[in-house]
Every structure is written in structure tokens, then in C-alpha cells.
Amino acid sequence: MASELDVVPGIATRREEATGFFQRMVSKGLGWARKNSLWQYPFVTACCGMEYMSVSSARYDIARFGAEVPRFSPRQADMLLVVGTVNCKQAPILQRVYEQMSEPKWVVAFGVCASSGGFYDNYATVQGIDHVIPVDIYIPGCPPRPEQVLDGLMLLQRKVQNQQHKLIDRVPVPTLAK
Amino acid sequence: MAKVVIEALVARFPGDVYDPYEGAGGDDCAFVQKSKIVEVCRFLKTDPAMAFNMAPYITAVDYLGAEPRFEVVYNLLSTAHNHRIRLRVKVPEADLELESVTTVWRGANWFERYCLDMYGISFRNHPDPRRLFMYDEFVGHPLRKDYPLRGRQPLVPEREVKDIFRGPGPVGRD
């Protein structure tokens, strides 16, 4: 005779579903925290820097999006703003700055020169910084209006918010001490 | 105004300074033989009646298809007499080497490096014969007329800078 327990429908707690729910919660919280405190590293090389100054000062006020803190060390920054033309001589420097930033990091190509080389279709200019480093957001314009920059920043915020995080078991960090 | 200078030059270096003319901007110009440029410049610098103590701009021109193909242009200024002249030296493509005038004007150093970088015209006895703007791995000379319009250069890794300290900081610093 089958016991009653055998036919009582139990609550199906599948591990993956539970983990997925937890992951979504963590991702949402982390994304919310990250998107509202994007610390930037301005890699300003050219005239787009004027628009960068405009967008970061009082009238357009990038601080409304939590991105008002320029860090002049790439190790403390989340968002690399490449503002202006990057030439072939500078490209390895940009690459080193990118590599020095700690994860998670995002890159914004500010203006048409950083995005595609712009009208500097010549021997000295890198035709878009995506030849050197990966780019998340391209902001067109020569130079872009501050509204465009803020639009790009909001797109980046949406991207940061929607990023998924995986729960992984922490691997013990190997130490050099013997 | 500087016509007297050119006339004196032609009289002093007959055959080596030739074809004087007045340029579009009012500057007086003349052509100089390639082998005599340092001699002419030293005379212009040291002679008290000339006293050309500045070389504000030295550059080169590529007349692709003409023979000789290149030309090095020396713009000279005398602040004492307020004279301005322009000397042109024809350089054939087969022999792209001139004597450096850095021994006359030290300021010619970077202009000659510019000519080396952009046109590939080299200068004998130059104290620092490196490229001025482009990096060493750059192929070709970008201001030559036959440089490809959309020529792309390979990206190079960052070179080591010897005087930047990149090791761990001193004790006590973060």
C-alpha cells in the first residue's frame, strides 16, 4: 500500500531555478549600484574635451547620473571616456590605460574621431579606437552635443543595469608565499 | 628690400647661387647648388652686412614627376637688418642627402629632422638624425606625393621608456 506521502505533491525546489532567481536579484542590485556610480577616466586628447568640460560642469551636470568623479588613475575608474582623436603613436598608451583599469570596466568612444577616426582619414590616425580596445558605447558628433553625451551615458547605464552576473564558487587565490 | 642681399649673393657665389626672382609674398628668392648650401649659409650668418641670424623655417617640397624631384627650402631672417630671403636647393631623388646647416643655426635641428621624417631627405653631420613626428616603425614618408592616400600603418606595442620608474614604490607608499 502506497503511503500518503507518495502522492502528496511536493514543492519542486529545483536548484537551478532558485539560483537563477538569486542571481537575478544580485545582478539587479549590483547593476543598480554600478550604473549610478560610474567613475570615469577621461582620456582627453583633442577638442572634444571642450564638450566634455561642458557636460561635466554645472549646466549639463553629469553628476545627475552619478558619473561626476573623474579619477586620474585608471585603477580607480569604471568607465574609460576616450575623448578625441587617437593617433597611432598614442594607441599603445590608450591600450595600457585600458589594461590598467580593474574589472568591471566600460569604454565610451566620445565623438566621431574616437569612434571612427572622423575626417582624419590619414596616415597618423587610428580609424576608431575599436582597433585597439573594445568599446561599449559610441557617441557620434564632431563634437557631440552634451545631450548626445548624456544620451550615450544613459544607454551605457541601461547596459550596465542589464548585465547578468553568475554565482560562482570562489576559487582560493594562490599565494606566492611558500 | 632684400634684393640687395640676393644680388650680393649672386655676385659672391657666381654659378652657385642662380636664378634670383621675387616670390609671391614679396620675399626675394634664389636657387643654390646642393653642395654649396652650408658655405652660402655660413656667409649669410657671419657676414656683418648680412647677419641672417635666424632660420625661421626650413622645409621641403615634393615635385613628383619633375626632375630633380625634391626641393629643400630655407627661409632666412635677419633681425638686425629686417631682411628676409628664401633659398631653394634642388635635390634629385637619386641622391637624397644634403649637408646639415645645424652647424650654422642650431635651430635647424628639428626642421631637418622634419624633412627626414616627412620626405626622407637626410642630412649629413646632423647631431640627432631621428624622425621628428612619426615613430621609428613607421613605413615610408607621409608627405611624399606618392605616399598612398589611405595608407595604414601597423600599430606597434608601447615602447619602454627608460626614465619612467614602473617598479614597486618606496616603502610606506600605498
pLDDT reported for residue B166: 62
Q: Is residue B133 part of a domain?
A: no
Burial of A167 (0-12, 13-18, 19+ CB in 10 A): exposed
Domain count, chain A: 1
Contact between residue B101 and residue B74 where contact means Cβ atoms under 8 Å apart = yes
Domain count, chain B: 1
Provide the shortest C-alpha distance from residue A119 to chain B (in Å).
12
Question: Closest to B158 (Cβ–Cβ): which among A96, A124, A126?
Answer: A96
Q: Is residue B149 part of a domain?
A: no
Residue in this structure with the C-alpha cell 653631420, named with its chain if needed? B125
Give the residue ranges of chain B where pLDDT is below 70.
Answer: 1, 161-174
pLDDT reported for residue B165: 64
Provide the shortest C-alpha distance from residue B59 to chain A (in Å).
19
Q: Is residue A53 part of a domain?
A: yes
Task: Identify the CATH number of the domain in which residue A155 sits.
Answer: 3.40.50.12280
Q: Is residue B144 part of a domain?
A: no
Most A CBs within 10 A among B136, B137, B155, hence the mutation to make, goes to B155
d(CA B8, CA B48): 13
Q: Is residue A173 part of a domain?
A: no
Q: Which residues does B contribute to its contact with A (CB < 8 Å)?
A: 133-135, 138, 142, 147, 150-153, 155-159
Q: Domain range for residue B70?
A: 3-124
Q: Average pLDDT by consecutive 10-residue portion of chain A (178 residues)?
A: 55 64 84 90 90 90 88 90 90 90 90 90 88 92 91 92 76 74
Question: Closest to A131 (Cβ–Cβ): which among B134, B155, B156?
Answer: B155
Task: Identify the CATH number of the domain in which residue B87 sits.
Answer: 3.30.460.80
Q: Is residue B142 part of a domain?
A: no
Q: Domain range for residue A98?
A: 38-161
Q: Is residue B47 part of a domain?
A: yes
d(CA A95, CA A52): 21
**What is the three-class DSSP state of A125?**
strand
Question: Closest to B158 (Cβ–Cβ): which among A93, A122, A123?
Answer: A93
Q: Which residues in chain A have their CB less than 8 angstroms from residue B152's CB?
A: 123, 127
ipTM above 0.85, yes or no: no
d(CA A68, CA A57): 9
